[in-house]
Structures are given as structure tokens and as C-alpha cells.
A and B are shown apart, each in its own frame.
Chain A
Amino acid sequence: MNPRQELNYLNCEHTLRSWFLTTDHKRVAILFAATITMFFFIGGGAATLIRLELATPQGDLVSSDVYNRLFSMHGIVMVWFFLIPSIPTTLGNFMVPLMIGARDLAFPRLNLTSWYLFLLGGAVTLYALFIGGVDTGWTFYTPFSTMYSNGHVILAAVGVFIAGFSSILTGLNFIVTIHRLRAPGLTWYRLPIFIWSLYATSIILVLATPVLAMTLLLISLERFFGIGIFDPNLGGDPLLFQHLFWFYSHPAVYIMILPGMGMVSELVTCFSRKNLFGYKFVAWCSIAIAGIGFLVWGHHMFVTGQSVFAALVFSFMSFIVAVPSAIKVFNWTATLHKGWVSYDAPMLYALGFIGLFTIGGLTGLFLAALAFDVFVTDTYFVVAHFHYIMVGGMVTAYFGGLHYWWPKITGRMYPDYWARAAAILIFFGFNMTFFPQFVLGILGMPRRYHTYDPALQVWNVLSSAGASVLAVAYLLPLLYLGWSLFCGRRAGPNPWNATGLEWQTSSPPPKHNFPQTPRVQRGPYVYTPEAVAVAQNA
């Protein structure tokens, strides 16, 4: 061992047992990161096949049945095994104790349990997908899923059910940790926005996921016993399934964006060396998004048979929920204004997020309007909308966070040039893939079909070409980040000169995070003019 290198959480123990039975939140974060990266490439593989098929109007690459299973696999894997865990279980697990000055989470063994549950759920789901998969879409709508589908619905549902418990435990851990393990002097209004966002995310994880669990249990029971409460033949209502499913799944999309928003607040402040504009607004807007996000789920059901009155209520609430998100975008912009902006890779991702999330969010408002939604529902307009937010937003923010905290987590720096090139390529590839899909939606191309009107081919080809660029762009970080682990320049405790408790300890941190418990006396983004001047002259 290099005598200059101090003992840290990575090199303090080397046995397999010390990794697979670890209760150190930092090691658990790495276990999760490895797992979700694997799922990202599985879901991405399905996406590749989808875009290959859609390059031509005929269904010539795969049969319609296989195509149904492909987009179902893509949705299930990307939503439940990549996006929902992404930031919370990796960057969240690693950073939450560090950012609040704690030595670990409130329940470290529960954290490890969460990972094992995730593995188990993932294994069951992957098994279901590889022995034939499901053709119901990730949304499992009844009565198709319960009565007519010949896919492995129950197995897939069980896999997701188990993974759901993993989510719940993570959320539970974060909530108690943030309430009870903050360092002395760290009041709520001195917390970084990343923590506020994860707290809001955890509220959703804890309160929404159980309803999904029940819904999956019910469709499994219905399918297995041949009885059920969603079967119209027996007096049931398929829409009950949709209410229960979307009560979880709409807040779930906020699970899939709030951590990204928190990340952007960290990046925008650090790389414009300014305090966050309207900190309290941004903090409370995170909570507002989580809260109001529970009141809008019916906008997924505008055309499936719910009453017009309910549709109106949900439409109205869907307009309201856009307001706190918009406030955040305004505040980030105001933070950038007259800041001393540097365009390091993390900042490129943050800027990309702001632009792409705005487009995605605005198109969400279009969809909230009943009349417009009836026109574009179940078309590629919706597909483009949610990919702008989930991929253009969340995945971008995840990469931004990965690049920001990489030196802290690994103690190494990655090559700056490649990182910026990859960020720009991702932005370019992403827009090329998904902007044409807005056009396709307006032109009437339905989603979940593997054939389409030949007149729409040019847009589909653009989209598929963009997807190939995006695929390469997503592979680049895998390469240079992997390279940096062995050959990257060693990083100091605070390579970005950022504020925040996580930067007050070594890179990588020692096993118990801080030699002594820090005391906090200031807000999270105190970038003083003196500090800026020092950085400018560095």
C-alpha cells in the first residue's frame, strides 16, 4: 500500500465479506451503483432493439409479440431497476451522512438489507424477462394483464414487489437520518438542497410504494386464482386497478426527478460560485412537488373511462404541480445570473438538465390540458415528454452528480476533456433521439406499435440515428471513469473548492466519515467574494 495513502473506507478492509456484509453506507452505495449500472445497460439494450426496429416502418426486425415484450422490459427495468434507485441509493447513500456530518445512516443494517432485497427483486424480474418476459407494458393494465396476457406477469410483478421493499427501506432510512443525525448547528435551513430533495423523495418512496405493492399483489392473486376485483365479468372495474397503480406511479415520476433537481442545485451553486437564489423557496418547492404530486395521478386516465368531473379535478391539480418546478428553474437561472460560471463537466450536465427539463416540463403542461391530451394520448408525444424529463433531466443530473462527486468517492480525477466531450455528445444525441418524437406524436404515431405509416419514417430514422449517438455517448463515461480508477490523478479533499460538509473530509473519506463531528455555523452555499477571488486566481 502506498505509504502516502491514508486509511479510507475503500482500503481499510479487502475481504469479500467486508464488502458483501458491509454496513458502511459508502460501500453499500458502491454495491448499488454497480447493480444499477448493469440494469441501465440491460434496459438500454432493449431500447437499442426498439430503435432498430423502428428505423423501418414495417415490423421486420421482431414480431409484434416480441416487440411488446421489448418495450415492457425496457420500461420495467429502466423505471424500477434504474431510475427509481439511481440517485437515492448511490449518491444519496454515499452523501447523505457526509453532507449532514453523520458517521452513517440511522439504520446501517437496514441499508444493506435494502441492497439484498434489490438484488433479489432484480434477479426474479430478470429471470421473468429472460424466460419470455411480459407483453403488458410496464403499466400492467387490467384486464389484459390478469386475464389475457400469456406473459410471465406474476413473476415480473413479484420481482418488482420485492424491489419495492428495497425502495421503502431506503426512504425510511433517509427520513429518520435527516431528522435525527444532523451535526450540531445544522438546522433545517442550513441543509444543502440535495438533502431537502432526498427528504421529499423519501416521503414519496415511503408513502406511495406500498400502494404499488398491494396493486401488484392483487393482480397476481387475480391471475393465479382466476378471481379478482378488476374483472368486469365478475362486476369489477378495471379502472380501480388504474387508480391504485397510478396513485403510486405518478408520485414515482417525482421520485425520478426530485433527486436530480437537488443535484442541480448543488452544481449550479458550486460552478457559478454563488449562493442559491431563493433557498427557502427551492427547499419548500421540493416538499410541495412531493405533496401535490400525490394529487394528480388521474391525468394518466383521461381517456380510459374515469368521470369527466374527476378528469377536471386532476387536470387542474396537474397545472398546479408545475408551479413549484417552474419556481426552481427560475431560481437556478437567477443563481447563474452574474455568477462566475465555469464549464466543468458537472456544470455542463446541470445546464443540460435545466434546458431539457424545461422542455419536458412544459410539454407536461400541454398534456395536463384535457383537450390536448385527448389528441396526443398514447402517441409519441407522451413518450418524448417523459424521456425529456427522465433521461434529459434525471439521467443527466445523475451523470452530473457522478462527475461532481467522483473525486470524493474514488479519490481520483477523470480526464477533463473526455468528460466535457461526453457531456456535449450526450446532449446532442439525446435531442436528436427524442425531439423528433414530439413531431411524431403530433403527426399521430401511436406508442407501443412496432409498425407505422411510411410517411413518418424520416422522423423515426432521425430518432434512431440519435439513439446510436446517445449509446456511444453513454459508453464514454464508463470508459474514462473506469480508466480514472487506475490511472486518474489523485484528488484532494476539495478539488472544486465547494462549500459543504462532504468536502471537509478526505477523498476518499475515512470509514467513519469525520475524524471529529463537525459543528455547523453557516448556510450551505456561502461562496464569499473572497473565496471567489481566491478561486479566480488559482
Chain B
Amino acid sequence: MSWAPPRRVLIAWAALLALLGTTIFLAYQPLGNFNLAIALCIAMAKTLIIMAVFMELRERSGLMIAFAAAGFFWLSILVWLSGTDFVTRPQFPPHL
């Protein structure tokens, strides 16, 4: 049945919905500071599945994978380096 969805696409979809359920469930568990980290990790996992399967990066060249990763890498520079300022300020947020 050539009109059926490819298996890998179907499995990816199921995995994404499962991860959605997981992230919601875990959000309600009292895990303190880990809540944010876990939510972000699950979001990253979903992103990797979407990019690898739906966006077919698995079948593309290293160059295209590098292009795909570049935006996220550069964003992490922005977050990290500006973070070094906010995290080491004597007083943040500034109070009037």
C-alpha cells in the first residue's frame, strides 16, 4: 500500500505523542530545579526526532546537519555568554 505512511514516520509520530504525555506528567512531579532541565531535555528529544525523521536529516549530508545545528549552537553562545553576566551580578534583577 504505497499510500500508507512510511513506518519510520508513523513510529516517530507515536514517539512524539508519548513524549508529550511524559513531559506533562513529569511537570506535575515535585522535582525542584530538575523540572526545567527535564522539560528541556524532553523538548530536545522531540526536536531531534522531528529533525531526524520528519525533516529527513538522517538521510542528508554532514554539511546539511551542520547547517541545521548551527542556529542552535549560536543561540547557545548567546544564552551562555550573556548568562555569565546575569549569573555573576551582585544584584539581579536590578531593584529601583
Query: Could you tell me which A residues sit within 8 Å of B by CB distance?
Result: 179, 207, 211, 232-233, 235-237, 239-240, 243-244, 247, 294-295, 297-298, 305-310, 313-314
Contact = CB atoms under 8 A, between A and B. Distances in A.
A232 B63 contact: no
Contacts of B88: 307-310
Given A237-B92, A237-B94, A307-B90, A295 B84 contact: no
Given A247-B78, A295-B77, A307-B90, A207 B70 contact: yes
A142 to B, nearest CB: 13
A501 B40 CA distance: 50
Contact of B84 (A211, A240, A310): A310
A207 B93 contact: no
Contacts of B70: 207
Chain A contact surface mostly: helix
Contacts of B94: 232, 237, 305
A310 B77 contact: no
A150 B6 CA distance: 59
B29 interface: no
A430 B10 CA distance: 66
B89 to A, nearest CB: 5
B82 interface: yes
Contacts of A237: 86, 92-94
Q: Which of B82, B93, B94, B96 has the most CB of A within 10 A?
A: B82
Nearest to A180: B63
Q: Which of B88, B90, B93 has the most CB of A within 10 A?
A: B88
Nearest to A248: B78
Contact of B85 (A233, A239, A295): A239
A244 B85 CA distance: 12
Contacts of A211: 78
Nearest to B74: A207
Interface residues of B, number: 18
Contact of A232 (B85, B90, B96): B96
A313 B85 CA distance: 10
Contacts of B71: 207
Contacts of A243: 78, 82, 85
Nearest to A239: B85
Contact of B81 (A179, A239, A298): A298
Contacts of B63: 179
20 contacts: A179-B63, A207-B71, A232-B94, A233-B96, A236-B93, A237-B93, A239-B85, A240-B82, A243-B78, A244-B82, A295-B77, A295-B81, A297-B81, A298-B81, A306-B85, A307-B88, A307-B89, A309-B84, A310-B88, A313-B84
Contacts of A306: 85, 89
B90 A294 contact: no
Contact of B74 (A294, A297, A298, A307): A294
Contacts of B78: 211, 243, 247
Nearest to B82: A243
A207 B89 CA distance: 28
A421 to B, nearest CB: 45
A109 to B, nearest CB: 21
B74 to A, nearest CB: 5
Contacts of B77: 294-295
A307 B82 CA distance: 10
A115 B96 CA distance: 46
A235 B88 CA distance: 18
Contact of A247 (B82, B92, B93): B82
Contacts of A310: 81, 84-85, 88
Nearest to B92: A237
A464 B22 CA distance: 68
A240 B88 CA distance: 14
A233 B96 CA distance: 7
A47 to B, nearest CB: 33
Given A207-B74, A237-B93, A239-B85, 16 more contacts: A207-B71, A211-B78, A232-B94, A232-B96, A233-B96, A243-B85, A247-B82, A294-B74, A294-B77, A295-B77, A295-B81, A298-B81, A305-B94, A307-B85, A310-B84, A313-B81
Contacts of A294: 74, 77
Nearest to A207: B74
Contacts of B93: 235-237
Contacts of B82: 240, 243-244, 247
Contacts of A297: 81
Contacts of A308: 88
Contacts of A233: 96
Contacts of B85: 239, 243, 298, 306-307, 309-310
A13 to B, nearest CB: 36
A529 B32 CA distance: 73
Nearest to B80: A295
A396 to B, nearest CB: 31
A402 B82 CA distance: 39
A314 B86 CA distance: 14
Interface string B52-96: 000000000001000000110010011001101110111011101
A309 B82 CA distance: 11
Shortest Cβ-Cβ A-B pairs, 5 listed: A310-B85, A309-B88, A307-B88, A243-B82, A306-B85
